[in-house]
Amino acid sequence: MSAKDTDWDGVRLHVVTGKGGTGKTTVAAALALALAAGGRKVLLVEVEGRQGIAQLFDCPPLPYEERKVAVAPEGGEVYALAIDTEEALIEYLEMFYNLKRAGKAMSKLGLVDFVTTIAPGLRDVILTGKTSESVRRREKNGSFVYDAVVMDAPPTGRITKFLNVNDEVSGLAKVGPVRNHADTVMKVVRSPETAVHFVTLLEEMPVQETMDGIHDLTEVGLPVGGVIVNMEHPPVLGADELAAAAAGTLDQEEIVRGLKAAGLERDAEPIAAELIREATEHAQRTALQKREKERLEGIDRPRYVLPLLPDGMDRAGLYDLAEALRKQGAA
Question: Please, which pLDDT band fits residue 110 given cuts at 50, 70 and 90?
Answer: low
Q: How far apart are CA 314 and CA 52, in angstroms?
A: 13
Question: Which residues have C-beta within 8 Å of that of residue 144, sequence separation ≥ 6?
Answer: 12, 135, 137, 138
Q: What is the pLDDT of residue 145?
A: 96
Q: What is the pLDDT of residue 146?
A: 97
Q: What is the pLDDT of residue 5?
A: 46
Q: What is the pLDDT of residue 2?
A: 39
Q: How far apart are CA 120 and CA 169, in angstroms?
A: 9
What is the phi/psi pair of residue 115, to 5°?
-65, -45
Q: How far apart are CA 307 and CA 172, in angstroms?
A: 45
pLDDT above 90 coverage of the chain, percent: 50
pLDDT of 112 strictly over 70: no
- Report pLDDT digits (tens) over 137-148: 999 999 999 999
Which residue would you say has higher pLDDT here, 292 or 259?
A: 292
- Report pLDDT digits (tens) over 176-205: 677 777 888 889 999 999 999 999 999 999
